[in-house]
Amino acid sequence: MNKQQGSYMKAPGFGEVLAVSDGVLWTRFKIPSKLDHINIYLIRDVDGWFVIDTGPASDENRELWRNLLANLPETSTITGILVTHSHPDHIGLAGWLQDYCQAPLYISAQEMAQAKLENQYRSAKDYSGLPAFYSQLAASAEDMQSLESVWEYVDKMFGPLPTDVTIVQSGDTLEIGGEDWQLWSSSGHSIEHLCLQKASGEILIAGDQIIAHITPYVGINYLSQEADPLAGWLAGLTDMLAWINPKAQILPAHNKPFYHGENRVREVLQHHQTSLEKLRGSLEQWRTVNELASVLGWAKKQGFARCMALEETFAHITYLVNTGEVICKADEPSGVLHYQLA
């Protein structure tokens, strides 16, 4: 097993492992979408391996896990599992993997609460509120027709939730392999997303918080618990600039590891400021979320991507309403929301 570093490195195949640092392995599992992979990391522990995230639920991914665990170097024992957040590509196989490995599982309180909330809706198959939510965003008839199938598609990526969890939070420290790893969390992309950084500063496992070439989703959806996720996201990224060790290798949940995470954080902050400026420049007259999604370049998105585009646009315009720069009115009796500069 070779150790590779730098942006030139070749990513591992699905279920294969690559050493990216001393005592840290990188593998990939499958996502049934255009973004076809999630990166999973395993940290060498005193008597086994500590796992970060689990991949979405599927028979194929369960088999990948079985094969990987049977062929890990030195030992196949899993000493712990950390779920960074409750999105299906991260928590989907958490319950199954915990049972399979009989390992403790760590997650933040609000992410576990969000996972349970969404699980209630999946169990009941209750999509009755979807039309009302998206109609206020002026979703088109075509968008509305695809809504239930979109949510059913996402639901399939969730397996059983873990039943025995250890709650952790920002500021906590996990000892893994005789070394301290410090936890940090933020809202915005999800409600209490965890990252962990080695106390020596050489490795930061970032989940979806920092990713090269991708700006993480920040939206308000049907089951959001955050009223203003963009405000939380911007505040969290600003706080993260003081937490990132400048020498850290960033291990993200998608795409390749990279360095200088603080530069990427600044790029993402600027991206959102640019989006907000585009919205400000288009609000001399009343606009709907659907119209504003086109302003942000998302006119041609379809299916699941279209729902996410509407949700992200909704989060951005809600931020501007909360700062007092924009006013909102709801049409009667349709309930469609319209926005204009204050």
The per-residue pLDDT of the chain, averaged, comes to 94
- What pLDDT was estimated at residue 140? 86
Distance CA 217, CA 114 (A): 16
Cβ pair 165, 107 in contact under 8 A: yes
Residue among 110, 120, 105 nearest 85 (CA): 110
- What pLDDT was estimated at residue 2? 45
- What pLDDT was estimated at residue 302? 83
Query: pLDDT-derived band of residue 128, with 50, 70 and 90 as boundaries?
Result: confident
% residues pLDDT > 90 (the chain): 81
- What pLDDT was estimated at residue 120? 92
SS3 (DSSP) at 49: strand
- What pLDDT was estimated at residue 7? 52
Residue among 136, 254, 229, 242 nearest 182 (CA): 242
Query: pLDDT-derived band of residue 300, with 50, 70 and 90 as boundaries?
Result: confident
Distance CA 169, CA 164 (A): 17
Tokens (6 digits) for 309? 């585009």
Average pLDDT of the residues in 104-130: 92
Query: pLDDT-derived band of residue 34, with 50, 70 and 90 as boundaries?
Result: confident
Antiparallel, parallel or unpaired: β 105-107 and 165-167: parallel
In the 8-state DSSP scheme, what is residue 191? T
SS3 (DSSP) at 267: helix
* 79 φ, ψ (degrees, to nearest 5): -95, -15
Distance CA 121, CA 103 (A): 27
- What pLDDT was estimated at residue 8? 63
What separation, in Å, do the N-terminal and C-terminal C-alpha atoms of the chain show?
60
Residue among 317, 50, 306 nearest 168 (CA): 50
On the question of pLDDT at 220 being above 80, the answer is: yes
On the question of pLDDT at 247 being above 90, the answer is: yes
Distance CA 161, CA 138 (A): 34
**Cβ count within 10 A of residue 74:** 9
Buried b (16+ CB within 10 A) or exposed e, 50-69: bbbbbbbbbeebbebbeebb
Query: pLDDT-derived band of residue 1, with 50, 70 and 90 as boundaries?
Result: very low
Tens digits of per-residue pLDDT, 204-214?
999 999 999 99
Residue among 83, 16, 75, 17 nearest 46 (CA): 75
Residue among 94, 92, 73 nearest 82 (CA): 94
Tens digits of per-residue pLDDT, 165-192?
999 999 999 999 999 999 999 999 999 9
Place of tokens 């509407």: 310
Cis peptide before 252 (omega within 30 of 0): no
Written as one letter, the residue type at 160 is P
Distance CA 53, CA 41 (A): 7
Query: pLDDT-derived band of residue 240, with 50, 70 and 90 as boundaries?
Result: very high
Average pLDDT of the residues in 243-249: 96
Tokens (6 digits) for 291? 């119209």
Cβ pair 233, 212 in contact under 8 A: no
Domain locations in the chain as residue ranges:
18-281
Determine the distance from the C-alpha atom of residue 32 to the mean position of all C-alpha atoms in its chain, rounded to a whole number.
Answer: 16
Q: Which CATH number fits domain 18-281: 3.60.15.10, 3.40.50.2300, 3.30.70.270, 2.70.70.10?
A: 3.60.15.10
Query: pLDDT-derived band of residue 259, with 50, 70 and 90 as boundaries?
Result: very high
Does the CA dihedral 255-261-263-267 come out positive or negative? positive
Residue among 221, 245, 219 nearest 233 (CA): 219
Average pLDDT of the residues in 124-129: 82
* 245 φ, ψ (degrees, to nearest 5): -80, 125
* 37 φ, ψ (degrees, to nearest 5): -140, 160
